[in-house]
Amino acid sequence: MPDNLIRMAVILADGVGHDVLPVATEVIQAAAGACGVEVKPTVYGYGAQRYLEEGSPLPEDVPGLVQDLASKHDAIFFGSAGVDPRVPKEVNCRPLLRELRRGLDLYVNFRPAPLLDRRFSPLLVDVPVDLVVMRENTEGKISSRGEVFKEGTPDEVTVYDDINTYKGIERICRYSFEYARSHGYPKVSMTDKGGGVGIWYRVFWEVAGKYPDVEAEHIFIDTLCAELLRHPDRYSIIVTNDIFGDILSDLCAGLVGGMGMAASGCIHPGRVCMFEPVHGTAPDICFQDKANPFAAVLTGRILLDTLGHRKASELIWEAVRLAVKEDKLTGDLGGRLGTRAVGDYLVETVEKLAKEGGA
**What value, to the nearest 5°, has the Cα angle with vertex 61 and ends 56 and 63?**
125
Minimum CB–partner distance for residue 292 and ligand IPM (Å): 17
Choosing among ligand IPM, Mg ion, none, which partner's interface includes residue 142 (Cβ < 5 to 8 Å by kind)? ligand IPM
Q: Which stretch in 142-150, 211-219, 244-252, 317-325 sits in contact with Mg ion by CB under 5 A?
A: 244-252
Choosing among ligand IPM, Mg ion, none, which partner's interface includes residue 256 (Cβ < 5 to 8 Å by kind)? none
The residues, ordered by sequence, that sit 6+ positions from 85 with a Cβ below 8 Å of its Cβ are 15, 283, 286, 287
The residue from 246, 276, 305, 332 that contacts Mg ion (CB under 5 A) is 246
Cβ 264 vs Cβ 275: under 8 Å: yes
* Rounded CA separation 69/137 (Å): 19
Contacting residues toward ligand IPM, per CB under 6 A: 81, 94, 142, 246, 278
* Rounded CA separation 114/133 (Å): 11
Minimum CB–partner distance for residue 153 and ligand IPM (Å): 28
Site string for Mg ion, 195-234 (x = CB under 5 A): ----------------------------------------
Cβ 100 vs Cβ 266: under 8 Å: yes
The residue among 192 and 246 lying less far from ligand IPM, judged by its C-beta, is 246
The answer to whether residue 136 forms part of the interface with Mg ion (CB under 5 A) is no
Minimum CB–partner distance for residue 286 and ligand IPM (Å): 15
* Rounded CA separation 306/184 (Å): 16
Which residue in the shown chain puts its C-beta closest to ligand IPM?
A: 246
The residues, ordered by sequence, that sit 6+ positions from 277 with a Cβ below 8 Å of its Cβ are 17, 20, 79, 80, 262, 263, 264, 295, 296, 298, 299
Choosing among Mg ion, ligand IPM, none, which partner's interface includes residue 7 (Cβ < 5 to 8 Å by kind)? none
**Residue ranges that bind Mg ion, judged by CB under 5 A:** 246
